[in-house]
Amino acid sequence: MLWTKTFIPTLREDPAEAEIASHRLLLRAGYIRKLTAGVYNYLPLMQRALHKITNIIREEMDASGAIEITMPVLHPAELWQKTGRWDTVGKEQMRLKDRHGRDMVMGGTHEEVVTWIVRGELRSYRQLPLNLYQIQDKFRDEIRPRFGLMRGREFIMKDAYSFDRDETGLRIAYNKMVDAYFKIFKRCGFDVKMVESDVGAMGGTNAHEFMVLVNTDGGECTILSCDRCDYAANIEKAVSIPMALPKSNEEPKSKEMVFTPNMRTIEEVTAFLKKPAEKLVKTLVYLADGKPVAALIRGDRQINEIKLKNHLHCLELEMADPATIVRLTGAQVGFTGPVGLKGVPIVADIEIKSMVNFVVGANRDDTHIINVNLDDFSVDEFIEIRCAEAGEVCPRCGIGHLVSSRGIEVGNTFMLGTKYSDPLGARFIDENGEEKPFIMGSYGIGVTRTLQAAIEAFHDEKGIIWPKSLAPYDFHVIPLFMSEPRQKEVAFDIMSKLEQAGYSVILDDRDERPGVKFNDADLIGMPVRIAIGEKGLKEGVVEIVRRKDLKMEKVPVEKAAERALEIYREL
Ligand code: ATP
Ligand code: MG
């Protein structure tokens, strides 16, 4: 392909809107352009990379026995109402009304639709197992679309759905998908980590995420994994064996109000009262589906809102706004505490059970209470709501310690059970003639997110470094000056040899300065580039550079294509 015959609008400057390297590079290297928040055009280079990744995914999905279909983007609302997800997915769902005023949904995932298909078509256990997949645009009105394709409002997903007669069948289907995922991501050049995850609004019993570990701001997820065994979990789900707290032999004292003018944060209060954060209890007021609830946690800990939300069985959990806090507690934000708090249920982290003489807000402006003990207030429930932390003991082996890393979730797998088949009445007849609901699993891969994750994981300050399997072109040929007939001739000759060998080539035939062409080659990131210049040709050589480390080799003109192929194969 000639550069001037395709469309690669590279930019000289970094686009201001991009916060992370991969987003910046996708824009600068002319792969994508934004249409509106979280919605992107995929330009020709992106389109080619998409072909590469979807081929890999298709090959591995087909090899696993899954069957490709295409379901509609547009769904009738009734299906989502039947499963209850009309309410649970809530504002993230893109909705519209048709001309008759009927509610419609733009699909963000397809459990409802696929279950509907199977409900109408499958009757017997003999037709099982079945795994249907598609690769398609998904729509989600994300609260914070950001980082380009990482969190878009329209994005491409591979979604697969398995149907089995029992739990054993589901396990087999699940493991097949896990194997396929490892193969897919390996072929994309990643070493992914499979971690336990919260099931969220998807429901079901068991779920895993596949993470590309990156040490950059693009890693939205925090993962805790054991340094001894294979335990690994998203921090939303991770647990740990709480460190044995030294049993306090402090005598409980009587509580006492203290003046803490304008001291609202844990840092301010600890500094002012000269007490460590472990001696404080934070009281956080949330609204769970609009109803207030106070959550208590030790001062130096973080609340795991997913655990709290799961415990409260609510659809939406949000921090109460300042006005609500004043109304409920009688004091400004920063002075909330459990003592004398009326009309608000209190849940407390289990660690608080072993605390003595601690500090809480007094529900009075500029005031805290010191030497508070458990019998000074009542707790409705003690639950584990703190985030596990790095350094704590692994819950699986009990020996190793948890270490923290950052990752990009590129795929996930859910054991759904009958969460969708039950409400939609999707049943089959088993070998004893009994009617039973299908046992389902669902399996997603963020196709566009994975491509961007590859860039986040593989780039340098000059540009993208594509893994061979995803690169839009295998080779990049640069005649320094197209106006020089000999350079042009050699360049075209090398391109045709490489193409005849079955590889794809982009040839930069622009009338640009060589510096511009080299910068663009580094930026767009093809694995091997061949530069043909006047000086080299005088010596009878061309320069072959591999993008990954910019290692250069001078190769005789007549050997150029052959040697370029060797270098490519060794990558
Ligand atoms: P997240 O926790 O990142 O919001 P999710 O749990 O909502 O992801 P799923 O509903 O399971 O994700 O979707 C399957 C896959 O689709 C995810 O693993 C991810 O790779 C991708 N994905 C999800 N949301 C987006 C999005 N807004 N933009 C791009 N890819 C996404
Ligand atoms: Mg999501």
Q: Which of 57, 16, 261 lies closest to 156 in space, CA to CA? A: 57
In which residue are the tokens 């939300």 written? 309
412 lines ligand 1 (CB under 6 A): yes
Q: How confident is the model at residue 147 (pLDDT cuts 50, 70, 90)?
A: very high
How many whole angstroms from its chain centre is CA 396? 24
Among 138, 214, 413, 443, say which to mutate for ligand 1: greatest number of ligand atoms within 8 Å of CB. 138
Question: How many domains is the chain built from?
Answer: 3
DSSP-H helix ranges across 64-110: 77-83, 85-88
Burial class for 160, CB neighbours closer than 10 Å (0-12, 13-18, 19+): buried
CATH number at residue 231: 3.30.930.10
* 534 falls within a domain: yes
**Contact predicate 528/565, CB 8 Å:** no
Burial class (CB in 10 A: 0-12, 13-18, 19+), 271: exposed
Query: Which amino acid is located at 467 in the chain?
Result: P
Residue 39 maps to a domain? no
Alpha-carbon distance values, 90 to 68, 141, 158, 444, 483 (Å): 29, 10, 22, 20, 60
CATH number of 283's domain? 3.90.960.10
Distance between CA 413 and CA 208 in Å, rounded?
5
Query: pLDDT at residue 51 above 70?
Result: yes
Instruction: Please indicate, yes or no, if residue 199 is contained in any of the structural domains.
Output: yes
Model confidence at 169: pLDDT above 90: yes
Q: Same structural domain for residues 207 and 82?
A: yes
Asked whether residue 309 is domain-assigned, the answer is yes
d(CA 396, CA 229): 8
Q: Is 151's C-beta closer than 6 angstroms to any atom of ligand 1?
A: yes
Mutate to test the pocket of ligand 1, among 39, 88, 412 (most ligand atoms within 8 A of CB): 412
pLDDT band at 247 (very low <50, low <70, confident <90, very high): low
User: 359 with 195: CB under 8 angstroms?
Assistant: no
Q: Determine, yes or no, domain membership for 136.
A: yes
337 CA from centroid of ligand 1 (Å) = 37
- The finding on whether 446 has its CB within 6 A of some atom of ligand 1 is yes
Q: Quick check: CB of 449 below 6 Å from ligand 1?
A: yes
Q: Do 435 and 491 fall into the same domain?
A: no
Identify the domain containing residue 310 by its residue range.
256-383
In this predicted model, what pLDDT tens digit does every residue of 391-443 receive, in sequence order?
A: 999 999 999 999 999 999 999 999 999 999 999 999 999 999 999 999 999 99
User: Does the beta carbon of 444 lie inside 6 Å of ligand 1?
Assistant: yes
Determine the average pLDDT of the residues in 501-522.
98
Residue 364 belongs to some domain of the structure: yes
Q: Does pLDDT of 201 surpass 80?
A: no
Please work out whether the CB of residue 447 comes within 6 Å of at least one atom of ligand 1.
no
Pair (340, 412) in one structural domain? no
Give yes or no for residue 410 CB within 6 A of ligand 1.
yes
What are the tokens at 425? 């009445």
Whether residues 311 and 338 fall in one domain: yes
Q: Based on the fold, state whether residues 412 and 499 are members of the same structural domain.
A: no
Query: Same structural domain for residues 227 and 287?
Result: no
CA distance 220 to 386: 19
Measured in Å, residue 458 CA sits from the centre of ligand 1 at: 21
Tell whether 353 and 324 lie within a shared domain.
yes
- CA of 412 from ligand 1 middle (Å) equals 8
CATH number, domain containing residue 553: 3.40.50.800
* Measured distance CA(490)–CA(503) in Å, rounded: 17
Domain co-membership, 80 together with 143: yes
From the CA of 199, which ligand is nearest? 1
pLDDT in tens, 58-114: 999 999 999 999 999 999 999 999 999 999 888 899 999 999 999 999 999 999 999
Question: What is residue 60's predicted lDDT score, i.e. its pLDDT?
Answer: 98
Residues contacting residue 272 through CB under 8 Å, at least 6 positions apart: 260, 263
Amino acid at 8: I
Residues 65, 149 within the same domain: yes
Check whether residue 75 and residue 192 sit in a common domain. yes
> Is 109 close to ligand 1, i.e. is its CB under 6 Å away?
yes
Q: How far is the CA of 249 from the centre of ligand 1 (A)?
A: 49
Asked, for residue 195, whether it belongs to a domain, the answer is yes
Domain-embedded: residue 247: no
**Distance from the alpha carbon of residue 137 to the mean position of ligand 1, in angstroms:** 12
| Residue 439 and residue 163 in contact, taking contact as beta carbons nearer than 8 Å | yes
**Index of the ligand 1 atom closest to the CA of residue 108:** 10
Residues 370 and 513 in one domain: no
Q: What is the DSSP string of 457-490?
A: HSEETTEE---TTT-S-SEEEEES-TTSHHHHHH
Q: Domain check: are 93 and 149 in the same one?
A: yes
- Give CA separation, 474 vs 190, 247, 358, 465, 532, in Å: 19, 64, 64, 12, 17
**Closest residue CA from atom 22 of ligand 1:** 446
